Every structure is written in structure tokens, then in C-alpha cells.
Structure 1
């Protein structure tokens, strides 16, 4: 009996050993390696490597809640408004043998009421940069985008508008660069792209983009830039009943407007960390949008239309001229409380034969705001702005002024 039991146990042990040996010969499926997200410190805080690539990505955005009071001129006017704005942006960067390859996209959706006007949903920026090439929608190269201006209300300068552009930037080292760009046209008169509003004349179709160029220096002390723009002005067939005696219904030759600007800022660390003084001065002839104007300027009951050009009595295109200067100073009272004081002055002039819609005027604006940042990325502030418009040559369209105030709560991430 004992012998049988021993034989049985031995057989079982042998079979187990053989089975184990065969099992060891079978392929074993290994778990896939987990690829954790890696921090990318090359381009600053917030970037991480997209798994499986050498591309660094930063996801950011903004939420802004704003409330505005604007002094009304009649009972029908809104005097208050509410704004809620959401922003999402993506910044992807890859180092290549040809230089940095960057793709940037920013989307903004805004809901407005009252004095803010209509809602909007726009692609604020969307561009590709490859070496010195920039293609897509970006801040106009006419503007020094480094300016630390803190104004919320309108000042008269080309305040960082985004435009569709094709540009190339030449970097010379030591902070110097130069850019040549083709940009979508900047119009002072934008109603149905009518650039010349005199009698029944109409603007012709756009044939040439605006040519924009700049030379820039950026250093530890601040930044300085000189920029220029050339803008085409074209008219369509004129009304022969109105202009027949002079023109016989002919089409005037195309004209070109232009604008020049000097913009810069200096850091003022001797006052407080983060303090800065900035200024922007611009002159324009036939390209008044580069002064920061929309077609119609209204302050209180005073108003004036701003047009790039008009048809003169001799049948040629005559241009409007103007200049503006804007500036401000930012000061940190404490590391979390800062204040900005800012203002602008603008002057627009037309010749004596200009149509009634084009009148000389002066405008100046001044304001201040105080912002509290209790934690990083959160701003809570108030702003007050005073504006005055003085049109010339229109009976009953006397100078007037207005006050406006804003409360803003904003989180950037």
C-alpha cells in the first residue's frame, strides 16, 4: 500500500514538473509601458510634451466679467452694460533644424448687453510661425505688441488689433529685428468697405493688401519700434449727374495712404518692481484707421465721421490727415495692488473742399484704473475714463464730453 502511494505521488510530481517546463516555454504577454506626461521647461511655465512627440503644448485661457457705465445723452440711450467673455488658447512649439515651429490658436466668445453692443464669437488669433515666417491671424506688425498698456477703455492709437497677415521677421541679434508684412487693409470707413464717401461715389474692390514694415529693439530696459504702413485707396465709377461737368463720369486714379508710428516703453524698477512708462505716437495721411479710429466717433452729443479720402472738385482723390499720441504709466503700490494712469490726444484734418461728412476735429481721453491681484492670475479692478470731442465746421455739433466707468473681474490661466 505504501509502495503504491509513493508511486502515485511521484507520478503527480513528475507531471507537474513537465507542465511547468512547458509553461515556461510559452510566450508571456507584457503590459504596455505607461508614458507619463513630461514637463517641457524649454519655453517657460505651463508647457508639457504631447505624449509620443517632441512637441511642447500649453493650454491656457481667460474668463472676464465686466460691467460698464457710460454717461447717456438721452432717455433712449443705454447707460449700463454687462459683458461675459471666455477665451481658450493653444500654443504648440517644436524645435526643428530650421528654427522654431510654432502654432497658436485663440478663440473668444463674448456675450454683451446694453452699452457693450452685440455678442461675438471669433477666432482672435490663429497663426503658424516657422523660423522667421508668420502666416495667419495675429497682432498687426504696425503695433509694438510689447507695450504694457493697461487701459480697458478706448485710447487713440492702434491698440493691438488682430489681422490676417503674411509676414517675415529678420532677427539681427542683440535684440534687433525687422519685419515686412502683407496685412488685410485697415479702413477708417468700413461701412460696406466704402472708403470714399462723397456724394454717390463708391469704393472699388480691394486689389492690394496693406504693406506694413517695422524695425524693433527689445532689451532688458524696455522696447522701441518704428513702424509704417501703405494703404491703397480706389474709387468706382462716379455719378455723371453729380460730377459730369467736372469729370464726365470718369474714374479717378488710385491713390495711396500711409502711416508712420513710433512706439516704446521703459521699465522703471527704481520706482517699484513692474513699473513702466509707455508711449505711442502716429501720423497718418489717407490711412486714418492706423490712428485707432472707427468710421464714426461719438462723445456725448458730439459726433464726427472719419474717412480716409474723398473725391475733390478736380476729380482726384484727396486724403484726410491726422495724428495721435497716447501714453501711460503703470505703478505697483504693493506686490498685489497696481495702478495705471493713461491718456491720448488726436487731431484729424481735411482740406477746405472736403464734403460735409468730413470735418476737422480734436479728441482727447484720460483715465485711470486700480487693480488688485490677490492671487496669481486673478485681477479685480475698477477704471474711470473721461473723453472730449470737439468737431469743427458743423453748426449744432458742438464739443461735448462724457464719463464712463468699468468694474472687471478676470482670471487668466
Structure 2
């Protein structure tokens, strides 16, 4: 064995003993692309694309602190306080059949005693184009400006609705599931009853008008409601009127008949009601809205009752998205109910 062979063999032995191997190939790790949130402006302000999809999402809601107060029949003031959180999540996707929509909205309440609270489903529905199905507020949920008027009864139903929106006008029809308590059904069959409601309306320039109708197939009675708005001077004038042929699910709500020490008569409903309000834009941040309503109420075993109520809403924008509101109202109620004065104070942060 020559010297060269000996050296090579020794080097190989040393390498094996030391665990040395040929160098591994260098692996270059590619940077992971960051999923940035992209604004979606196809459906209005607030929407953004869910990363990796064509679906746009909007998350919003409000936090409200409110103090309610009202005089009792004995002229003693009573008051209560609560805090409310509203969370709304809406998804929209543009498809060949129109916009595909999904909406979920929740309410959470904490009441004045500090120990009671609740969480409830405010509304949830799906939609495709002009079609909507789910649990949501109906056209009857809308009122005049000022929050004084009461021109409707139940306003939320499990419904199927089709809405046609044109350039400045709207037309829609809805099939509404009416629960037994809405129609005052006391039989053994607790299945939902059927209601049919709809709207036609338009808005052009500073003028807007809406005609709503609702028919309760269980009670075989219906209601009509007309609302209008006019840009007038430094504000907006709203006028409304409502008529019901009899007790039905769309016209049975009376805020002053409850909570004033008076038991509400059976099948109480509003036969006629007219209301007006004017929103005066006093400054860029401050709006004053006086309003008034006159109502004829009917019920089983009760003669017609006429009453009127008036009040004002004061709305001040502290900063963008944060409002302070004060609602004051007085009601000259029919005997034997004492006249009532009340309202609420509200702080609300919208987002």
C-alpha cells in the first residue's frame, strides 16, 4: 500500500466517524402572500371582500343607553333605564340572478335592575335579486319622523317577499306568517295564520309617497296606510294617515294604553289615525322635530275612543356617529285613562 492510498483511506475513515456528509441543497423559502382586506364599493359604504372570495361583508350596529320616563295615573312619575347593543352582519355576492344576500342581526339588553338581561334575534333573512325570505321587519315598521306617531300594529314576521326597485319607485308584495297572539286566536290550533301585505311608492326630488296595505286572512280584516314627505324650507314635512276595517295583525298597537294602569280592551285597534311631523334642521348638528297624531280607537264592548298626542324629538350630533336624543310627548287619552306625559333620553353610538 502506497502513501497516497493510506492517506485517502484515513480521510474517508475520519469523515465516516465524524458523521460528515455531502452538503444538503439550499432550500429557498418563498414569502407567504399577505391577504389584505380589500374594500368592496359595489354595495355601498362599509363593505369589504372576504379574503379569497367574491363575497362582500358589512359589520355594523349601535350601542344605546336610554332612560324612559312616564307619569302614572296617580300623577307619580316612574322611570326605567336600559342599555342595548345591536349587531348586524350582512353579506352580498353579485350573481347571474342578482345580488345574493344574507343578513343576521342581534339585540342584547341589560335592564335597570342590574341583574336581568337578554339576547334576542332581531332579524335574519336571505335574498336573491328582489326575493327575500326569513324573519325581518315589514314595511309597517317604518313610521314618520320624530318617533311620536303610531300608525301600525305588528311589524316583524316570518315572511316571503318580492320587491321591485326602479328608478325612484318601489313595489313589493309579502306573505306574512301571523302568530296566534297577533290575531288574538285562542283556539287549540296554534299554527301560524297568513297575512298579505304590500307597498307601492315613489320618490322624486324633494317629494316621496308610500301606500301600504295589509290583510289578515284569519280575522278577515285589513289596513291601509299612506305616508308622504316633502322637502320644505330648512327641513322636511311628513304626513301620514291610516285606516283599518277591523281588528287585524297590522293595526293593533297602542303604546299609551299599556303601562298607564289601564287594562287594554279585547281586540283593540286603530280605526282611523292621522299624523304629522316636521324635522327642522336648526344647525348642521341639531334637529328639532315636533309631531302630532289624532286617533280613533275601537274594541270589543267599547265605544269609540278619540284621543290625541303631541311631542317633539331633539336630536344633537355630538360627533360623527354619536347622538344625544330627547323625546318628550303628551297624550290626551280617553276616559277612564288619565292623560300622560313621558318620553325618553338616549345616547347612541352608531358604527
Q: Under a length normalisation based on structure 2, what TM-score does the superposition of the two structures give?
A: 0.82
- Tell me the CA shift for residue 343 of structure 1: 2.1
Residue 223 of structure 1 aligns to a residue whose secondary structure is strand
Q: Is the Cα–Cα contact under 8 Å of residues 302 and 389 in structure 1 kept in the other structure?
A: no
CA distance in 2, matches of 1:204, 1:347: 32
| Aligned 1:102-251 pairs, distance under 5 A | 102-113=101-112, 119-142=117-140, 145=142, 149-151=145-147, 155-158=149-152, 161-171=155-165, 173-185=166-178, 190=182, 194-195=184-185, 202=187, 205-206=190-191, 208-233=193-218
Counterpart position of 1:38: 38
CA distance in 1, matches of 2:60, 2:117: 22
Residue 334 of structure 1 aligns to a residue whose secondary structure is coil
Alignment CA distance shift 1:219-1:104 (3 Å): farther
Indicate which of 233, 240, 250 corresponds to 1:290: 250
CA distance in 1, matches of 2:91, 2:283: 35
Q: Is the Cα–Cα contact under 8 Å of residues 226 and 262 in structure 1 kept in the other structure?
A: yes
Q: Is the Cα–Cα contact under 8 Å of residues 154 and 250 in structure 2 kept in the other structure?
A: no
Counterpart position of 1:11: none
Q: Is the Cα–Cα contact under 8 Å of residues 80 and 112 in structure 2 kept in the other structure?
A: yes
Counterpart position of 1:245: none
Counterpart position of 2:290: 341
Indicate which of 186, 210, 220 corresponds to 1:256: 220
Alignment CA distance shift 1:339-1:366 (3 Å): same
CA distance in 2, matches of 1:264, 1:169: 20
CA distance in 2, matches of 1:226, 1:361: 26
Deviations 1:32-54 (A, max 9, x none): 21121111122222211110111
Moved more, 95-104 or 295-304: 295-304
Q: Is the Cα–Cα contact under 8 Å of residues 91 and 105 in structure 1 kept in the other structure?
A: yes
CA distance in 1, matches of 2:293, 2:136: 25
Q: State yes or no: 1:330 paired with 2:314.
A: no
Residue 42 of structure 2 aligns to a residue whose secondary structure is coil
CA distance in 1, matches of 2:40, 2:134: 26
Which structure has greater strand proportion? 2
CA distance in 1, matches of 2:85, 2:184: 33
- Supply the RMSD in Å over aligned alpha carbons: 3.0
Counterpart position of 1:379: 323
Q: Is the Cα–Cα contact under 8 Å of residues 68 and 80 in structure 1 kept in the other structure?
A: yes
Q: Is the Cα–Cα contact under 8 Å of residues 288 and 322 in structure 1 kept in the other structure?
A: no
Counterpart position of 1:406: 344
- Tell me the CA shift for residue 218 of structure 1: 3.0
Is there any run of 5+ residues in structure 2 with no aligned partner, and where?
1-22
CA distance in 2, matches of 1:72, 1:321: 23
CA distance in 1, matches of 2:266, 2:242: 16
CA distance in 2, matches of 1:164, 1:222: 32
- Tell me the CA shift for residue 111 of structure 1: 2.3
CA distance in 1, matches of 2:274, 2:196: 22
- Tell me the CA shift for residue 26 of structure 1: 5.7
Deviations 1:376-411 (A, max 9, x none): 1111122211012214xxxxx3x5201113211111
Residue 250 of structure 2 aligns to a residue whose secondary structure is helix
CA distance in 2, matches of 1:291, 1:260: 9
Deviations 1:252-287 (A, max 9, x none): xxx51111111222233x41xxx3222221111223
Q: Is the Cα–Cα contact under 8 Å of residues 278 and 327 in structure 1 kept in the other structure?
A: yes
- Tell me the CA shift for residue 323 of structure 1: 1.3
